Amino acid sequence: MRYAYALTAALLLGGTAASMTMQPPAGAQTAQNEPGTIAAAAPRAGAPMSFADMVAKLQPAVVNISTTQSVKVQQSNPFAGTPFGELFGGMQGRGGGGAPVTREAQSLGSGFLISADGYVVTNNHVIAAGSRTATVDSITVTLTDRREFKAKLIGRDPTSDLALLKIEGANLPFVRFGDSTRARVGDWVIAIGQPFGLGSTVTAGIISAVHRVTGAGADRFIQTDASINQGNSGGPMFDLNGNVIGINSQILSPSGGNVGIGFAIPAESAKPIIETLLRGKTVQRGYLGVGIQPITSDIASALGLPGNRGELISRVEPGEAAAKAGLRQGDVVVGVAGKDVTPDQTLSFLVAQQAPGSRVPLDVLRDGKRQTINVTVGTRPSEDELASLTGGDDDDNGLPDEDSGNVTPGAATLGLQLTPLTPQIARSLGVDNTVRGVVVVSADPSSDAAANRGLQRGDIISSVNRAPVTTAAELSAAVTAARSAGRDQVLLFVTRARRGGIYVPVKLR
């Protein structure tokens, strides 16, 4: 312990540590001689004792961005539920409340100059309206020397959360994009921004991960422990050469404050998007038109596949690229244009990199056999168009009761009671009339299907281990076949109104 403590003290003393020679206790074996020991390389030179000189040069190019927004707010009736409620509503010209009122709101964020004539990069969410009832009236860019400029929106790309602004100026300080593909876990990075409206703030840390997928699917992020908070959005992440290798965009925090997990859009992704916006073009991405699920350990076990490889197609949109090429629900895509589909390199990400209209080979597993399917890639719809894909009503009035003669406990090994899906039940559940399968009438609360997988009354099961089922007997037969094959779980395709269909692995009882 004394040896370890002395070494730590020497490192903390900075300059004196280099001149000290530490000897291990007598008889101790050195790390180099221990069999199997990993010998770490010496740290690369270049990390300064202070970042002050570098920050002094970079800070003037980092700006504060503020927006003024008009928000329509519906007035509430403060006397609702009292004898004066009706009178107040009548005075406002409405039965239950007042007329909408327009109020002013503001948002704050960060950005950085990329040219001497005033082009500014930031996050789209920094300059976007805060709600559907809001409109952005003006955008103001403030430099570190307190000069203010009204900014013009040149272009935005909501999918990547990037936006490009322009202010009128000359000989402005600016920074350049670097090569984020060379970034490694453990490299020093510096974040500069305007957290909580405090003014220009500098934080430093290391890269915690590269190619981190946070759920967006089509994009990957650099993760850092450099302190990033509200207001840092849109600000730059610098390497030690003073180049922008990331744009601070998100944090992961249960409290809303920094807990050491922040995410930046890599320069390798951001630079081509910004160049497209500079040309006045709209960013286009490749699109298949499928719903996908990762191959979890449970799904891999149910299908007899290796885990952490490929993604499962849960839905094929009619008329889109995947449907035209012959991809099917239940196919597992393991490669795109020669690149493996992995948790760090998702199907969405790889397809998004393909030019719309290009012909791309997909490596697919279908019924356990590998094949190549060539797809002419489509164009990804806008975020609003994608969000408009909704389901139907959750009403289950067409379902029979558990003690009805139409209910078959044919899936007892899963803890489910089922009934055939009739056109009447399909209408009452709000699902498309092309859906086929059996409907869950009840689920045993102690079963894996209900307790851990969330199956519930009204769910429609269309297949078991990718084999279609339309009756409880077919489902039971498929479950029995899986058990005979030595599998301890099956993969159900489940459709629920407003959610669409997904694959759900369920353990056998």
Q: 271 with 179: CB under 8 angstroms?
A: no
Q: Looking at 125, 180, 298, 396, which residue is catalytic?
A: 125
**Burial class for 225, CB neighbours closer than 10 Å (0-12, 13-18, 19+):** middle
**Burial class for 500, CB neighbours closer than 10 Å (0-12, 13-18, 19+):** middle
DSSP run (H or E) holding 483: helix 472-484
Quick check: is 233 catalytic?
yes
Q: Give the other-Cβ count within 10 Å of 98's Cβ.
A: 17
Quick check: is 211 catalytic?
no
Q: Give the other-Cβ count within 10 Å of 481's Cβ.
A: 14
Q: Looking at 107, 157, 160, 161, which residue is catalytic?
A: 161
- DSSP one-letter string for 176-244: -B--GGG--TT-EEEEEE-GGG--SEEEEEEEEEEEE--S-SS--EEEE-S---TT-TT-EEE-TTS-E
| Nearest-angstrom CA–CA distance, 420 and 430 | 16
Residue 325 tokens read as 């090429």
| Nearest-angstrom CA–CA distance, 450 and 444 | 6
Q: Looking at 200, 233, 428, 476, which residue is catalytic?
A: 233
Quick check: is 367 catalytic?
no
The radius of gyration of the chain from alpha carbons, rounded to an integer in Å, stands at: 29
The CB-side HSE value for 118 (13 A sphere, CA atoms) comes to: 18
Q: How far from 194 is each of 63, 112, 191, 279, 419, CA to CA, in Å?
A: 8, 11, 10, 29, 59
Name 2's Cβ contacts closer than 8 Å, sequence gap at least 6. none
Residue 396 tokens read as 């289950």
| Nearest-angstrom CA–CA distance, 146 and 385 | 40
Query: So which residues are the catalytic ones?
Result: 125, 161, 233
